[in-house]
Amino acid sequence: MSGFLAVLVVVLIFIVIFQIAKASEYVSILKGEKKARQQSNRINGFLLIAFLVLGLIGVYYCNDLLKGKILGESASDQGEGVDKLIYVTLLITGVVFVITQILLFYFAFKYQEKEGREAFYFPHSNKLEVIWTVIPAIALTILVAFGLKHWFQLTSDAPADAVIVEITGKQFNWLIRYPGKDGQLGRRSFQLIDPAASNELGVDWNDPLSKDDFQATEVHLVVGKPVKFVIGSRDVIHDVGLPQFRLKMDAVPGIPTTLWFTPKFTTKQMKEKTGNPDFTYEISCDQMCGSGHYSMRGVIVVETQEEYNAWVAKQPTQYSLAHPAAAPAEAPKADSAQKTVAANTK
Amino acid sequence: MSNEATLHSQQEVMHGAAAHGHHDHGHHHESFISKYVFSLDHKMIAKQFLITGIVWAIIGAFFSVLFRLQLGYPDATFPWLESILGHWAKGGRITPEAYYALVTMHGTILVFFVLTAGLSGTFSNLLIPLQVGARDMASPFMNCLSYWFFFLASLVMMASLFVQTGPASGGWTMYPPLSALGDASIGSKMGVDLWLTSMALFVVSQLLGGLNYISTILNMRAKGMSMTKMPLTIWSFFFTAVLGVLSFPVLLSGFILLLMDRHAGTSFYLSDIFIAGKALANEGGSAILYQHLFWFLGHPEVYIIILPAMGMVSEVLAVSSRKPIFGYLAMVGSLFAICILAFLVWAHHMFVTGLNPFLGAFFVLLTLLIAVPSAIKVFNWLTTIWKGNIHFTPASLFSIGFVSTFISGGLTGIWLGNSSIDIHLHDTYFVIAHFHIVMGVSAFFGMFAGIYHWFPKMYGRFMNNTLGYIHFWITLVGAYCIFWPMHYEGMAGMPRRYFDYSTWTSFNQFSGLNQFISFVVIIVFAVQLLFVFNFFYSIFKGRKMTTQNPWKATTLEWTTPIHGIHGNWPGEIPEVHRWAYDYSKDGRDFIPQTEPLGPNESGH
């Protein structure tokens, strides 16, 4: 019933607007076309300048309202460069935006049709046109230079001491694998995938490198230590989106991609910095991947080396989970692995 | 034989088949079918494109209202949704599957069916023969086919909305493997097959139309109408058609490979896939290959959308400010530059696919290069209205709005074209804000400018001005209210195409803003319905046009009779002596293109 009433109200408003519009057309015929034209021109001229003024105030107000809701400082070293480039670009495009919008609406207002005014026949001016070809070209050269410099840094090879973490997308969650103490990931193939046998990633257990690999539900990273993500997908294209770190990279089936960065703040520090006790580094899937796309959330925990070591020590190898029968034999091995890690930290 | 007659017969030869037998038009009887359905008259075909486009625009925009309801009011239920969408909106809340189907269809419909077919289809058809001085298109029959292929494509796409598994729902870009595997998404079952079929028909329609536009412009200009005397509208339609003819076939090839991956067991795009509990046999394909083929059209496509709007806005701004367009040759040159660069920037949509970063660098450079011709155009429009004498018709207001939104949306392109910024903003709301402002709102403003301006030429009546003003002001303010704040959501990294943000700690701070945006969307949508009403009402009841040239324009279309006839000019085709922009020259308000140069006057 309320829906019906709403429709009725909308239709009534339509009819009222339409009747006013129709009446105004009759009025303009009565008043004379010239007078009506002058009047509507004045009104629209005024509205144009009002739109300019209110619009610029609106832009300022919108910024005031929302600037606290966007991300604060970048949480990775690499993201700082992205932010710097954004500021430079914002400065250049912002100035151009304000000047051109002011000129557009001010000219429209100032040169509205007036009795007795004659338009100025001004078909071209080579000088002006050269000026506004050259200036944008220079500004853009600057932006390209800044941008590419940073682009090559972002896409450079990861440092040799970077921790490797493998992130594999599937509908609709992320599978995370660490290489274990040998620092190398075991070979895997999509044909070996067998969720029933605890092998979601299709790891080849014959590869000795795979024995100490472990899988986790969250990505754990050490603050200040570079990390290299090896990104892949099991089914469709996903994308590892890291808003706080200002990075993202597609996860493409069959074509591994990589991404490296250095986290600057631990999760705990970010909670304090943002004043948000619920703060979490999240991995968002940024490439449409099906009906659960919006729920494909991963969590990254950035912590100190000690916390990280303690966490690593608690992770059972995937091999031991996939081979429960062999588990007793594996147990001491896993144990010794923990000890080595513990020893390393001392 | 007099000189006059010789000239005339030469002209007849020039216009060949199109002009054949047109001297006795009006005598022969036209049936309803040949006049309104399978018409060969470019003016009628233009109206067919326009009205089909309007119907699609209503559907596409309504879809956006539906998914904005979900985004703005994620916890609310709307029982009426269940009555129109059935189990796709059980309990009055749309399902994720329905949400993605709506998003996908919204994109497909507006990009292809409205802003490509509805915009350049309408105005290329209407204006090319009228403004270059031809009796009709080079091939009226191909022109008719072009519309009917579009109509068939529309039917197939419409049918896909009603199949049991729903329409395609992998996003309008239809990336495989999601779109290739029925197991990956319910929309990738029957829906994608229908989508691909419809798009293939659509490509055929575009090619038939585009070849026709090009050959008409190159071969059928009136006597004296050299290329540099053509109005900018024609130049923009010309480059639009060139872009379409060169890039749509590549898209079609991408679609055919996708179709084969779906049904013929090939592996063009598929490799290393484990889905629905089993590993697929496909190996060696590249999902990225599709993206190259898609964006090789996809990027020129955005210029296919915006160039006609640019052309029409140039024309309307010159006419309504009573000034020549500033820097005509620079305007043509920048259209040409945009047209060339359009083919060289496609991979800027793919910076984060793992594309070779060295290759990416070239695409950054070429992408930002496009800002130069775009800047030239903006400054030339500004100079065109400078010291003018502007009459604010709804058409000229929409043109001013076009320039404003083109600036706003164009500038954010400089952000996204730079790969180091794109790596943060890619696939966020920033992208949505950018392309909706620059190719959604702007292109629509250009289209509205064109409709208000040339409506009298189409129907011999005017649209209601007051409704036009209301339409303009609410749409302009509304469009900025909708899309401006989205930049901030994008800066926060908020991903696009999410059904619900409430479970995310990084993106759930915008629920109030999302509600505001959805509220404005509903108002703006209602105002578009007001425009649609104005359009159809004015066809039958609008104020009648009493003079042949109501806007006091110089171009040829205003030398034809008020009620268009098949063949356009009752007598011979007028001869052209000057460019299209002699406004306020030598103390005269305007000088039509048909008037010979004075003895002391220099041509442009």
Residues in chain B with CB shorter than 8 Å from the CB of A234 are: 272-275
A111 vs B389, B407, B420: nearest CB = B389
Q: List b or e across A29-60, with b for residues whose CB sees 16 or more CB atoms inside 10 angstroms.
A: eeeeeeebbbebbeebbebbeebbeebeeebe
What's the confidence (pLDDT) of residue B492?
94
In this complex, which of A89, A108, A193 lies closest to B385 when CB atoms are compared? A108
**For the segment A236-285, what is each residue's pLDDT rounded down to a tens digit?**
999 999 999 999 999 999 999 999 999 999 999 999 999 999 999 999 99
Asked if B465 has any chain A CB less than 8 Å from its own CB, the reply is yes
Residue A1 confidence (pLDDT): 62
pLDDT score recorded for residue B179: 95
Q: How does pLDDT run across A173-213, given as a tens digit for each residue?
A: 999 999 998 999 999 999 999 999 989 999 999 999 999 99
Q: Which of A112, A123, A244 sits opposite B390 (nearest CB)?
A: A112
pLDDT score for A59: 96
Residue B506 to residue A280, Cβ atoms within 8 A: yes
| pLDDT for A326 | 59
Question: Nearest residue on chain A to B317, judged by CA atoms?
Answer: A108
Does the CB of A85 have a partner CB in chain B at under 8 Å?
A: yes
Share of chain A above pLDDT 70, in %: 94
pLDDT confidence of residue A333: 45
Best to test chain B binding among A13, A19, A84, A140 (most B CBs inside 10 Å): A140
Quote the tokens at residue A84: 């710097």
Q: What percent of chain A has pLDDT over 90?
A: 74
What confidence tens digit (pLDDT) does each residue in B25-54 have? 444 567 888 888 889 999 999 999 999 999
Contact A124 B392 (CB under 8 A): no
Which member of A108, A252, A288 has the closest CB to residue B287? A252
pLDDT above 90 for A3: no
For B352, which residue in chain A has the nearest alpha carbon?
A249
- b/e map B523-549, b = 16+ CB within 10 Å: ebbebbebbeebbebbbeebeebeeeb
A338 pLDDT band, cuts 50/70/90, is very low
Q: What is the DSSP string of B463-500?
A: PPHHHHHHHHHHHHHHHHHHHTTHHHHHHTTPBSS-S-
Average of per-residue pLDDT across A69-91? 93
Mind listing the pLDDT tens digit for each residue in A13-48?
888 888 888 888 888 888 888 888 899 999 999 999
- Quick check: B583 and A119 in contact, CB under 8 A? yes
Amino acid at B267: S
How high is the pLDDT of residue B1? 33
Closest Cα in chain A to B78: A3
Nearest to B288 among A122, A133, A252 (CB): A252
Q: Is A238 on the interface with B (CB under 8 A)?
A: no
Q: B-chain residues within 8 Å CB-CB of A3?
A: 79-80
Residue type present at position B177: P
User: Cβ contact (<8 Å) for B389 and A295?
Assistant: no
Q: How far is Cα A91 from Cα A308, in angstroms, rounded to an integer?
A: 40
Two structure tokens written together for B523: 């108002």
Are B471 and B450 in contact, with CB atoms under 8 Å apart? no
Q: Does B172 touch chain A (CB under 8 A)?
A: no
- Taking the Cβ of residue B529 and every Cβ of chain A, the question of whether any pair is shorter than 8 Å is answered with yes
Over residues A323-338, the mean pLDDT reads 53
Total number of residues shown for chain A:
346
Q: Which of residues 321-340 of A touch B (CB under 8 A)?
A: none
Low-confidence stretches of chain B (pLDDT < 70) are: 1-29, 604
A194 touches chain B (CB under 8 A): no
**B495 contacts A286? CB cut-off 8 A:** yes
Q: What is the mean pLDDT of residues A84-107?
A: 96
The enclosing H or E element of A301 equals: strand A297-303
